[in-house]
Amino acid sequence: MAPSTIGAIGVLALFTMLFFRVPVWIALTLVGFIGNSIMSGVTPTFALAGTVPFDVGSAYTLSVLPLFILMGEVASVTGLSSDLFKAARVILAGARGGLAVGAIAASACFGAVCGSSVATAATMTRIALPEMRAAGYHPSLAAGSLAAGGSIGILVPPSIILVIYAAIAEQSVPRLFAACLIPGLLLTAFYMTVAVLFANLRKDYAPMSKGVSLRERVSAMKGPWQFLAVFLVTIGGIYAGIFSPTEAGSIGAFSAILLGVAARRLTLAGLLRSIENTVAVCGMLFVIVFGANLFSFFIVQTQLPVLLANGAQELHLSGLMVMVMIIIAYILFGCFLEAIGMLLITIPVFLPLVKQFGYDPVWFGIVFVIVVEVGLIHPPMGLNLFVIQAHAPDMKLTSIYGGIVPFLFAPLLLIVLMFLFPQLALWLPRVLYGAG
Amino acid sequence: MNRSRTYSLVDRLRVVQLRLASVALVTMMLVTLVDVFMRYAFNSPIRGAYELVEAMMLVFVFNGMSTAFLQRRNIVIDLVDSILHRTIVVALIRLSDVLTVATITLFAYAMIKPALQSYSYGEVKMELQVPIWWFWAVALVGIAGAILCAAGALIAPPPKPRHDKEPV
């Protein structure tokens, strides 16, 4: 049997297992183990399976993952998100849709210390949704802005998914963190624009709020200074080349703890809960990385990406057409695959193909994250939509679906812009770190 | 020993491993922090900080996975929950429990040979000057606990499939 056929059967087996509820890490490991055994024999496969967990589990570069997750957990417990929303609400008071725009801005800022979309959506929903409802906002606009705002969490640095992408695609974390900044800011601006348009086209969806004085607005800006401090120290430190990502993660986590304790918002119980949550989350992440390594090695041996590339060339498909097909595939996968699982399953197959067509892996990482964001918010399975409904059980799912549709145009527009102007992602890494 | 007593013992093991992983995480954070401070303030970074973080990562990763296994926190695609009959979904959850034990045992078994090789070669870490087989031992002890916790899920009641849950 041809290696590429074995590869295709392996991918099919993987999806079958996933469909039948086999945990992602087990499906990756079993397909990787059996596939490698067929391709190169049982003894070398055992050698690989013996060293992969040790190499991954002791990788200094991966220590950034628990440290940034801890920083996000502590930020959630200490109510940083609440400060951000309060400030945004006052600054935008008096504007139609101001609360929706404020929720998006606060989500983007909170994402910049949290790194997770679902956590951002959950936290901001808890804080902003009651206020939006009290102000008479329609559930569709409230849910749409919160789901969309929450999804920004993985596109602004420090994005947890980009750290995992860096490990799998063998890319530099600082470069990826630099690459995602401009697209992250652009997407935030796009979402805000959609919220303003939405609120102004459907005036009954967003009643006007009372305006405040300029002095009050300026004073509100001082509220979330802790956010600025943590962000500047961690991400600023990485951009300036002062800290490595692991060092920035340590400093960020410690600063978040220190600020929480100083403001008397972090109790010992809260700190322990944050640490234990970090352990539990990483416990499931690292086993997936074990499995993904075995799977990736198998895919490389089968030369499946080469077969796909040759197939595309025989069909006279241009690089752009291949990329469009990959993006459509990701949007479809997003209906049933969770973001990290999707990354670890597909990157070994798609990345070599993407590189072969001359696209930059850093640029592709950012496009991938934007597509994942679409998956997080598009009906019927967008995870952020369920997060919002879990916090507002009385809100109809149809209202939430209706509210998110206008926001879906924003990431799709950004993907188009990324193709037209790749420098949106590649300019800042080049300025900060030189040509890759 | 009855089933609930066995489960509570396994859960106690999980808590011990969770705390070990937590201590490793905090140590990792503090070592890196002090290292940065010493480097910038006194131009004298901590010797072996990098390797210490690697060691703590092993404690963290191999002890941290127990909670994910015993509490069935691993990522699954639960589309079938709303399609298949409850009995079949429960059977699939049980199958996943068995596969978890088998797969993590496979990793543990595969790790024994390189661990023994590391012991016989007598390699040491460059800065900490400790034998590398200690690191392997840490990983193997952690993974042994993880196997027990994965096995513990076999005697735990299966979680409710999605369509059995309260509507959200």
The pLDDT tens digits for A51-73 are: 999 999 999 988 988 998 899 88
Q: Which residue of A has its CA nearest to B20?
A: A279
pLDDT digits (tens, 9 = 90+) for A247-296: 999 999 999 999 999 988 899 999 999 999 999 989 988 999 899 889 98
Backbone angles phi, psi at A210, to 5 degrees: -75, 140
Dist CA B144 CA B107 (whole Å) = 10
Give the pLDDT score at A46: 96
Per-residue tokens: B1: 């020993």
Contacts of B130 in chain A (CB under 8 A): none
Closest-approach residue (CA) in chain A for B29? A250
Cβ atoms of A49 and A33 within 8 Å: the answer is: yes
Q: Residue A104: how many CA atoms within 13 Å on its side-chain side?
A: 27
Listed as own residue / partner, the contacts of A389-395 with beta carbons closer than 8 Å and 24 or more positions apart are A389/B168, A390/A122, A390/B168, A391/A122, A391/A125, A391/A126, A391/A129, A392/A125, A392/A129, A392/A139, A392/A143, A393/B167, A393/B168, A395/A139, A395/A143
Distance set, CA B77 to CA A25, A230, A389, B92 (Å): 11, 35, 19, 12
Is B162 a residue whose pLDDT tops 70?
no
Q: Higher confidence at residue A376 or residue B149?
A: B149
Burial class from Cβ neighbours inside 10 Å (0-12, 13-18, 19+) for residue A47 reads: middle
Residue A200 host element (H or E): helix A181-201
Cβ neighbours around A288 below 10 Å, total: 27
Neighbours of B6 (CB within 10 A): 13
Global confidence as pTM = 0.85
* CA–CA separation, A236 and A140 (whole Å): 36
Confidence of residue A336 (pLDDT cuts 50, 70, 90): low
Answer for the pair A113, A71: CB distance below 8 angstroms, yes or no: yes
pLDDT of residue A391: 75
Beta carbons of A294 and A52 less than 8 angstroms apart: yes
Of A54, A243, A275, which has the smallest distance from its Cβ to B25's Cβ?
A275
Least Cα separation, residue A344 to chain B (angstroms): 12
B99 vs A116, residue with greater confidence: B99
- The full DSSP string for A131-157 is HHHHTT--HHHHHHHHHHHHHGGGTSS
Chain B residues with CB inside 8 Å of A70's CB? 25, 29
Q: What H or E segment, with its residue span, contains residue B16?
A: helix B3-42
**Cβ within 8 Å, pair A53-B107:** yes
Contact (CB, 8 A) for A135 and A102: no
Is it the case that residue A331 has pLDDT exceeding 70? yes
CB proximity list for A152: less than 8 A, separation 6 or greater: A104, A107, A108, A111, A117, A120, A184, A187, A188, A191, A373
The answer on pLDDT for A387 being more than 90 is no
Q: Percent of chain B scored above 70 by pLDDT?
A: 94
pLDDT at res. A186: 96
A247 closest CA partner among B64, B128, B46 = B46
Contact A67, A252 (CB under 8 A): yes
- Output the six-digit token pair for A57: 């589990």
Using a CB-CB cut-off of 8 Å, the residues of chain B touching A22 are 76, 95-96, 99
Q: Tell me the average pLDDT of chain A.
A: 89
Residue pairs between chains A and B whose CB atoms are closer than 8 Å: 189
pLDDT over threshold 50, residue A193:
yes
Whole-angstrom distance, CA of residue A16 vs CA of residue A328: 20
Q: What number is the average pLDDT over the span A413-435?
A: 94
- Please determine, for residue A393, whether its predicted confidence score (pLDDT) is greater than 80: no
Return the pLDDT at B160: 65
Question: In this model, does residue A218 exceed pLDDT 90?
Answer: no
Q: What are phi and psi of A23, to 5 degrees?
A: -55, 145
The answer to whether the Cβ–Cβ distance between A279 and B168 falls below 8 Å is: no
What's the CA gap between A158 and A177, in Å, rounded? 6
Q: Which of A137-151, A418-432, B18-32, B153-167 has the lowest mean pLDDT?
A: B153-167
Query: Residue B96 and residue A26: Cβ atoms within 8 Å?
Result: yes
Tell which wins on pLDDT, A214 or A426.
A426
A interface test, pick of B65, B94, B99 with most A CB neighbours within 10 Å: B65
Contacts of B168 in chain A (CB under 8 A): 386, 389-390, 393
pLDDT at A390 over 80: no
What is the rounded average pLDDT of the residues B1-18? 90
Distance from CA of A282 to the nearest CA of B (A): 7
Weakest mean pLDDT among A194-198, A297-301, A341-345, B97-101: A341-345
Residue A183 in this model has a pLDDT that exceeds 50? yes
ipTM score of complex: 0.92
Residue A32 is predicted with a pLDDT of 95
- Give the whole-number percent of chain A exceeding pLDDT 70: 99
User: Could you identify the residue written with the tokens 């060293």?
Assistant: A51
What is the reported pLDDT for B79?
A: 77
Q: Counting beta carbons within 10 angstroms of the beta carbon of residue A203, is it exposed (0 to 12), middle (13 to 18) or buried (19 or more)?
A: exposed
The arithmetic mean of pLDDT across residues A375-392, rounded, is 79
Of A57, A280, A337, the CB nearest to B62: A57
Tell me if A369 sits within 8 A of A154, measured CB to CB: yes
Lowest mean pLDDT among A51-65, A74-88, B11-25: A74-88
- Whole-Å CA distances, B32 to A4, A79, B45: 44, 26, 10
Residue of chain A minimizing CA distance to B167: A393
Higher confidence at residue B21 or residue A307?
A: B21
pLDDT single digits (tens) A5-54? 898 899 999 989 988 989 989 999 999 999 999 999 999 999 999 999 99
By C-alpha distance, which of A222, A246, A188, A258 is closest to A91? A222
**Whole-angstrom Cα distance, residue A29 to residue A45?**
11
Cβ distance A26 to B103 less than 8 Å, yes or no, reads yes
